[in-house]
Chain A
Amino acid sequence: MSDDYFEEEDFQTKFSGHTLRRILSLTRPHIKWVIGFLVAIAVVSALDSYFTFLSKRVIDEGIVAKNVVALRQILTTYGLLLVVQAGFVFVFIYLASVLGERIRYDLRKTLFNHLQKLSLSYYSRTPVGWIMSRVTSDTERVSELVTWGLLDMTWGFMNIITAMIFMLIISWKLALIVFIALPILFVVAIQFRKRILTQFRLVRKLNSKITGAFNENITGVRVIKALVREKGNLTEFSVLTGDMYKASYRAAWLSALFLPTVQIISAFALGAVVWVGGLQSDFGIITIGGIQAFISYVTFMLWPIQDIARVFAEMQHSMASAERIFSLVDSVPEVKDREDAFPTNTIFGDIEFEHVSFSYEDNVPVLEDLSLKIRKGETIALVGPTGGGKTTIVNLLCRFYEPKQGVIRINGTDYTKLSLHSIQSKIGIVLQTPHLFSGTIRENLRYGRLDATDAEIEEAAKVAGAHNFILKMPKNYEEQVGEGGNLLSVGQKQLISLARAVLAKPEIFVMDEATSSVDTLTEALIQKGMDVLMKQTTSFVIAHRLSTIKRANRILVIENGRIAEMGSHSELLKKGGKYYRLYTKQFRAQMEQEFDPFADKINPQTLPLAGD
């Protein structure tokens, strides 16, 4: 987790009716739930206001009238309604919160499923952290808006409206006084909320910076000590925590000021009610209970106003979240099946690159006018400097991308006419940094072919040379590999990903050889596994190991997006050109690594150098 602190960005957006409609449309499949919780909350808030009214009747009809029968009657109604209300409370909490959960679930599902369709180009320009935030925090905010946001708004408005109705019933004159105060309260509350929210967002941003600073301080502690930078670092960090202090202190005292301010404004309304009501009571217009009820209505009007203000303030941010989610959902995959695409039975055949040019988003050409014919079953080694275009060739071959110009043919057919799935399901790939998924070794192997039996899996593992080390694991095939496979060594991960490819029985095999060295035994096992695969498939290897290079039928030296040299090992070596230089350098480096005298003190005279 240490190196992946994707700093949370903050977005706000203008209110857009279109977006809001689209957000609300998310609830369409569950519209019964929405209606359910809206009705429930409406009943609850109406009852709340009615309870205050009942309290007034307790006073007027019970206490002041000294009527115990009426008192008992009113309180019985009160009690019964309280139970009824509790029932509705259950309904609205349950429906709204489960619906929230459900919408989060729906959104995550939609996003994830869409992500599976998007092309590699989307992933190369979008950081993983960004996508993660869309799926985790944005879905959270949007579902919050359509459930609790909607609910709080409904509750708030219902509460205020029913309270207004009861106030009008009790005394319309006093009610008018309160109504004057309402808009003021709203404006003040929303302004407050917005400012508080801004501060809280600042706090969040600073918080992620602080986390970043801690991360760097801990991972870089050795350098810090070596350069005696402790003092300077602390000074810098103090500035950060100082900002954090200011922002969070401000956020806190703004929050602390919010309620009292609203309270004091409503106290003026209350004072006016008492004053005018006191005058009126002389003429018998308002009862004692009536005044009490007014006081209650005004006092508890704080909460709906606070909630509505909160929803309004957060709405902008939720809409920004929604827009980002929609932008992801709306993005169109660049590589997809043509309308008349048809599946192919086999991709084991001649492959032809015809005047292929390609560039990524930045329009800097990576491949230029590349033509190449590969015979069925051939093994091609791609060598050359980083950034020369080796990976791009492989990416085009797997149809992760399609050529910008030119055609790639498989068995004579332009491969864009074939269905993507029929091509990609017949390709086996082993990446430079092998990628495994959390789960057991067996699950990871089965990824190559889902209907493989356990026996087949073990067979594939044997072919790839992974069987032996797997058996040495405490739970052998059921051993957990950890997140991204991090409980295994690099070599073990390579063996498993190789076995996975073997199990897939591919017709085209693509391997990006690892540059990092593994121990000699593992290396030999990997080579053996590759041999098996190469015999059965048309293979492309981005090669780093001498033995792999030598084993290829043809070697392509790729440089600056072109084929600089092409031929067999001996042809190219005799030529004494780029390949020659590459090869000799690689030869020295690899030999040195292989025969580290400290490892097991091999006598140099008996070194089996370049044995084959």
Chain B
Amino acid sequence: MSTSQIRINYDLNQVVVKNKIKGLWRLMTGYHWHYGGAALSLGISAAAKTTTYLLIRYFVDQYLLAKSSTVSLPLVAAGFVMLAVVEGSFAFLSGRLAAETAEGTTRRLRNYIYDHLQHLTFTYHDKMQTGELIQRSTSDVDALRRFFADQAIGIGRIFILFIINFGMLLSINVRLAFLSIIVVPIVVLTSIWFFKRVSKAYEKYQEQDAVISTTLQENLSGVRVVKAFARQEYEINKFEKENWDKYLRGKKLNLMHSLFWPISDIVCGAQMLTGYFIGALFAINGTISIGSYLAYAGILVWIIWPLRNLGRLIVQLSTGMVSFGRVLEIIKQNREPLDNGSASIPDRLKGEIRFENVGFQYDEGEKVLEEINFVVKPGQVIALLGSTGSGKTSLVNLLPRFYEYTSGRILLDGVELKDYPRRYLRSQIGIVEQEPFLFSRSIRENITYGVEKKVEQHEIEEAASASAVHDVINSFTEKYKTLVGEKGVTLSGGQKQRVAIARTLLKDPRILILDDSTSSVDTETESEIRDALTRLMQDRTTFIIAHRIQSIMDADQILVMDKGRIVQHGKHQELMAEGGIYREIYEIQTRIEQELVKEIANV
């Protein structure tokens, strides 16, 4: 692999190692030289700055005092500019390289997590909360970005500055050098201690910020309640309390800052003045030259003051590490392989499905499905009837291998389902949910969402017409380009469902799964949807999850399910003759009609 390929395609699964530092190092794969270059440039830049002070020493000692300079004045002046150029260029280079590393690494990480999330199993997504996952993929990733861009490099900068400048001080005078860094450990330790406390106070402050947001949000979304009970005063007082509390917490946080900085000013200042005094005494008694004193006084500033920030960086660094751990939690999950499978892909799937003693249960917990046995011939319609939690949805979820059955076999065209690659299987199965999920993009993109090849406009319109949604779409000002969701139109449940039908028509699957609980849809659209569904079902093996008998009486087979088992199985007529739960449901329906007639007659 070439470097640029490594930078994009490096499998981040490899960052999952025990040693977190090693993991971070691997996270940077492809950018190691950049990061090294950034550190080196930083060193060169710092050295140039220090050299500037040496040039001052030369200028003062040789030129101004001794008047023995062999170098002309313009050259000295040019030297200053030169050093500034070197210092500046390398500082820039370092910033640029560090940015490339940080941003490049983050980009790869974002892409990887995004892709990883859509490859993780249903089981994983079932147990994770959306907000939590989003936070890990955004805030925590950003914390890692800052780790590379600011913190690691910032700490490096402070160390490099310290080493180079301290080295220079040593070369001026060893005793002076050591006398100049007495307070360093104190400053570093206090600043770490201080920033730890500050970050705690800051957390408290942020917590209160969240409380304020919630209070506000609830007030705004409950505006009708507030007005109806005329509780404006009460709300104002409630908000005032939280608002004031935030002010107080902010005040406390600010007090800490306003104490730390002046106190550390005094400590660092005392160190500097001591340095100045001793340095000046040395200069007076001739231990060092006047130029050396000037250089010393200049360099001293660069040793002492940056150290105050070390604490902040170290504390932030530790939060960066925590974020890395949280991101790793996602990365170390195993992906669901889409392309594994030994079955030879047929030209055209017939769509014969055989369930043999199929059982299913989640990792932990009780059995969801047990002893499921039935056979569906190609093109047949099979209806699943049962209450919520009876296992209907779990059963159809086994077909696209969203979940893996835990016992028995499912055969598709005579081949075990587990031998088909998931990608192929899913491309052959279409699902229309009752409340379909549409994406906040244009209607056109939503309809073509499941198709990889380019789709012509007339194909889209045909699919939309067949789904009885073409006219609706044309009534929008932007037609097929209309955005769905917050920034565009809000579609009704029935419209969403028809867009989903069009989406499935274009996908042209061999097997169809319909969630047919048209309860919230009004009568006119119900018949339109029914027609659209009938067109969709033609020539496809269809599973219907149903709640009402009326819509499934014509099905080739009906499975009545209860508590994960098939309790009745057959055609409408057979089941009616057989008695049992199916007939009970049917009789309720007829009885309702009778009652209705009676009720109306009675008034």
Instruction: Write out, one digit per residue, whether chain B residues 425-441 have a CB within 8 A of any chain A CB (1) or not (0).
Output: 01101010000110110
Across the interface, do B229 and A79 meet the contact criterion of CB distance under 8 Å?
Answer: no
Residues of A within 8 A of B387 (CB): 596, 598-599
Interface range for A:
35 or more
CB interface residues, A 214-251, toward B, < 8 Å: 214-234, 237-238, 241-242, 244-245, 248-249
The answer, yes or no, to whether A274 is at the interface (CB within 8 Å) is yes
Task: Give which listed residue, B73, B78, B265, B294, contacts A59 with CB less than 8 A.
Answer: B294
- Tell me the bound Cα distance from A370 to B7 in angstroms: 69
* Listed stretches A404-412, A469-477, A584-592; interface member: A584-592
Instruction: Write out, one digit per residue, whether chain B residues 585-598 have a CB within 8 A of any chain A CB (1) or not (0).
Output: 10111011101101
Residues of A within 8 A of B507 (CB): 227
- Tell me the bound Cα distance from A603 to B587 in angstroms: 10
CB interface residues, A 383-427, toward B, < 8 Å: 385, 398, 400, 420-421, 424-425, 427
Across the interface, do B270 and A79 meet the contact criterion of CB distance under 8 Å?
Answer: yes
- Tell me the bound Cα distance from A256 to B180 in angstroms: 31
Known: A58-B280, A59-B293, A128-B221. A116 touches B236 (CB 8 A): yes
CB interface residues, A 577-612, toward B, < 8 Å: 580, 584-585, 587-589, 591-592, 595-599, 601, 603-604, 607, 609-610
Overall SS of chain B's interface: helix
Residues of B within 8 A of A420 (CB): 230
Task: Give which listed residue, A218, A252, A398, A504, contacts B130 with CB less than 8 A.
Answer: A218
Task: Give which listed residue, A214, A238, A592, A607, contacts B137 with CB less than 8 A.
Answer: A214
* Listed stretches A26-34, A430-438, A518-526, A558-566; interface member: A430-438
Residues of A within 8 A of B74 (CB): 275
Across the interface, do B103 and A248 meet the contact criterion of CB distance under 8 Å?
Answer: yes
Residues of A within 8 A of B478 (CB): none
Q: Which of A79, A83, A109, A598 has the most CB of B within 10 A?
A: A598
Across the interface, do A135 and B262 meet the contact criterion of CB distance under 8 Å?
Answer: no
* Listed stretches A93-101, A154-162, A312-320, A322-330; interface member: A93-101
The answer, yes or no, to whether A12 is at the interface (CB within 8 Å) is no
Across the interface, do B77 and A90 meet the contact criterion of CB distance under 8 Å?
Answer: no
The answer, yes or no, to whether B577 is at the interface (CB within 8 Å) is no
The answer, yes or no, to whether B110 is at the interface (CB within 8 Å) is yes
Residues of B within 8 A of A398 (CB): 227-228
Across the interface, do B118 and A233 meet the contact criterion of CB distance under 8 Å?
Answer: yes
Task: Give which listed residue, A59, A421, A573, contacts B603 with CB less than 8 A.
Answer: A573
Across the interface, do B273 and A78 meet the contact criterion of CB distance under 8 Å?
Answer: yes
The answer, yes or no, to whether A295 is at the interface (CB within 8 Å) is yes
- Tell me the bound Cα distance from A216 to B484 in angstroms: 13
- Tell me the bound Cα distance from A138 to B393 in angstroms: 47
Across the interface, do B232 and A271 meet the contact criterion of CB distance under 8 Å?
Answer: no
The answer, yes or no, to whether A450 is at the interface (CB within 8 Å) is yes
The answer, yes or no, to whether A108 is at the interface (CB within 8 Å) is yes
* Listed stretches A62-70, A187-195, A460-468; interface member: A62-70
Residues of B within 8 A of A604 (CB): 584, 587-588, 591
The answer, yes or no, to whether B213 is at the interface (CB within 8 Å) is yes
> Which residue in chain A gives the minimum CB-CB distance to B75?
A275
Q: Which of B100, B104, B119, B588 has the most CB of A within 10 A?
A: B588
> Which residue in chain A gives the minimum CB-CB distance to B69?
A278
* Listed stretches B251-259, B366-374, B533-541; interface member: B251-259
Instruction: Write out, one digit per residue, whether chain B residues 147-173 have a CB within 8 A of any chain A CB (1) or not (0).
Output: 001000000000000000000000000
Give A596 Cβ to nearest chain B Cβ, in Å.
Answer: 6
The answer, yes or no, to whether B556 is at the interface (CB within 8 Å) is no
The answer, yes or no, to whether A46 is at the interface (CB within 8 Å) is no
Task: Give which listed residue, B64, B81, B96, B220, contacts A131 with CB less than 8 A.
Answer: B220
Residues of A within 8 A of B254 (CB): 93-94, 97-98, 101
Across the interface, do B437 and A63 meet the contact criterion of CB distance under 8 Å?
Answer: no
Across the interface, do A101 and B251 meet the contact criterion of CB distance under 8 Å?
Answer: yes
> Which residue in chain A gives the minimum CB-CB distance to B452?
A232
Residues of A within 8 A of B587 (CB): 604
Task: Give which listed residue, B88, B225, B277, contacts A429 with CB less than 8 A.
Answer: B225
> Which residue in chain B gives the minimum CB-CB distance to A263?
B88
* Listed stretches B22-30, B240-248, B357-365, B464-472; interface member: B240-248
Known: A128-B221, A252-B103. A1 touches B273 (CB 8 A): no
- Tell me the bound Cα distance from A68 to B231 in angstroms: 75
The answer, yes or no, to whether A2 is at the interface (CB within 8 Å) is yes
> Which residue in chain A gives the minimum CB-CB distance to B560?
A598
The answer, yes or no, to whether B573 is at the interface (CB within 8 Å) is no
* Listed stretches B55-63, B309-317, B410-418; interface member: B55-63
Give B155 Cβ to nearest chain A Cβ, in Å.
Answer: 17
Across the interface, do B523 and A585 meet the contact criterion of CB distance under 8 Å?
Answer: yes
Give B153 Cβ to nearest chain A Cβ, in Å.
Answer: 11
- Tell me the bound Cα distance from A98 to B261 in angstroms: 15
- Tell me the bound Cα distance from A223 to B503 in angstroms: 11
Known: A260-B87, A484-B221, A592-B592. A226 touches B426 (CB 8 A): yes
Residues of A within 8 A of B83 (CB): 267
Extra 9 A-B pairs, beta carbons < 8 Å, given A128-B221, A398-B227, A428-B229: A93-B257, A101-B250, A131-B220, A215-B134, A241-B111, A270-B80, A291-B60, A437-B222, A569-B603
Q: 10 pairs across A/B with beta carbons < 8 Å? A: A93-B262, A112-B235, A207-B142, A252-B95, A259-B91, A291-B64, A398-B227, A421-B230, A425-B230, A587-B599
